[in-house]
Amino acid sequence: MFISVILWGIVFIITVLGIYVLYNDRKNEKENKDDIY
């Protein structure tokens, strides 16, 4: 039971980090487009 909790925690952290990175990438792309135009 304890091991499954650790695995779920790792999956949750990876998911949050993935969403955070994708959000930052989209934000940076918008900023770059604004600089170009």
Residue 37 lies in a domain: no
Residue 33 lies in a domain: no
CA 5 to chain centre: 21
What is the token pair recorded at 17? 């980090």
pTM, entire model: 0.56
Dist CA 22 CA 10 (whole Å):
18
What is the total count of domains within the chain?
A: 1
Residue 3 lies in a domain: yes
Residue 11: pLDDT over 90: yes
Residue ranges making up the domain that contains 12? 1-28
What is the token pair recorded at 32? 């770059």
Give tens-digit pLDDT for 21-37.
998 888 777 766 666 55
What is the token pair recorded at 35? 């600089």
Mean pLDDT of the chain: 85
